[in-house]
Amino acid sequence: MARKIIIDCDPGQDDAVALLLAFASPGELDLLGITTVAGNVPLGLTQRNARMLCDIAGRQEVRVYAGCDQPLRRQLETAEQIHGATGINGLEVFEPSTPLQSEHAVDFIIHTLLDADDASITLVPIGPLTNIATAMDREPEILSRIERIVLMGGAMREGGNRTPSAEFNILVDPHAADIVFRCGRPITAFGLDLSHQVLSTRDRVARIRALNNPVAAATADMLSFFDRYDTVKYTSKGAPLHDPCPVAWLLRPDLFAGKDCNISIETQSELTMGHTAVDFWHVTDRPINATWMHTVDAPGFYDFLIERLARFGEHA
């Protein structure tokens, strides 16, 4: 039976690849809806970008919702320097035919979960956690319906990518992240320690482009833009492909390894705001609340991603 999931995202080229991977896996993932949040770019663009991806993948039936346009308490910080002014640079922007649902994303999350059986829906947040935390805060009844939260966020040994201490998704809304990490439901967290192992090198982008189908071409175009900032910043051979990691884990957990530990969020100090304190060596008595993912078979990840992107050409 396909796993019921909701992807909460802020597209963003890497969010886009995560959506495409989910679209390519209908037998394993039942995508109940895509909820969008302000993050990489403002909400008006993240929701439009998510709907563009539905069109590109030929999945105009997927329901897309707009959610929170501001973090719970902090001013919105965006990342146009990485994703471009449109948030999806690398793609020619167009007005998508996939409609935006009129219902607010938080209301969709709440009523979908309230109508569901216990532990039956997996949440896959790959942007700031504002929508998820708002839903939990407004309707705690939904918690029992959450099978697991499989998220992209945080950093431990890698240090931060937005400040020395914090990864972008957590920094943008640390108060939301604090609510989520204290919610008591199982969490599988993919931070920079993991995503910095999956680099979109030129060779890998070339293999994607060589699939010779429109979705793979769009992916190669996005990744060719997405890598220009990180390759300079990290002097790496390609941009880390953050957001497809949680989706890939749902499909191929054998490619990954993690460790159960406590993850706590800094919400007081401006210097370390949004830091994920990962108690990897269990040096405190803080309760275990997450699995911190730390190792991935990167060649295997890209082989799998490419195999799934190839599916978009099979019925062309």
Fill in the per-residue mask, 158 to 187: x = in contact with ligand RIB (CB under 6 A), - = not in contact. ---x-----xxx------------------
Q: Does 242 bind ligand RIB (CB under 6 A)?
A: yes
The verdict on 59 binding ligand RIB (CB under 6 A) reads no
**Residue 275 lies near ligand RIB (rule: CB under 6 A):** no
* Chain-centroid distance, C-alpha 148: 14
Q: Report the half-sphere exposure of 35 (CA within 13 A, side-chain side).
A: 30
Q: Does 12 bind Ca ion (CB under 5 A)?
A: yes
Tell me the window of 225-233, 238-246, 248-256, 292-300 that interacts with Ca ion (CB under 5 A). 238-246
Contact region with Ca ion (CB under 5 A), list: 109-117, 123-131, 252-260, 272-280 = 123-131
Kindly state the smallest distance separating residue 104's Cβ from ligand RIB, in Å. Answer: 21
Q: Per DSSP, which regions of the chain are E strands? A: 3-9, 29-36, 64-66, 121-125, 146-152, 187-190, 199-201, 238-240, 256-265, 276-279, 290-296
Which three-class secondary structure state does DSSP give residue 10?
A: coil
Q: Would residue 242 show up in a list of annotated catalytic residues for this protein?
A: yes
Does residue number 15 form part of the binding site for Ca ion (CB under 5 A)?
yes
Residue 247 interacting with Ca ion (CB under 5 A):
no
126-145 binders of Ca ion (CB under 5 A): 126-127
294 binds ligand RIB (CB under 6 A): no
Residue 12 touching ligand RIB (CB under 6 A): yes
Taking residues 62 to 101 in sequence order and writing x for each that binds ligand RIB by CB under 6 A, - otherwise, the string is ----------------------------------------
Q: Identify the H or E element spanning 208.
A: helix 202-209
Answer whether 60's CB lies under 8 Å from 145's CB: no
| 246 binding partner (options Ca ion, ligand RIB, none; Cβ < 5 to 8 Å by kind) | none
Which one of the spans 7-15, 104-112, 211-219, 266-274 is the region binding ligand RIB (CB under 6 A)? 7-15
Nearest alpha carbon to residue 274 among 181, 144, 210? 181
Cα angle 200-3-17, degrees, rounded to a multiple of 5: 20
Rounded-to-integer distance, Cα 18 and Cα 299, Å? 17
8 Å CB contact between 170 and 154: yes
Q: Which two tokens stand for residue 95?
A: 């007005």
Q: In the complex, which residues of this chain contact ligand RIB (CB under 6 A)?
A: 10, 12, 14-15, 39-40, 126-127, 152, 161, 167-169, 242-243
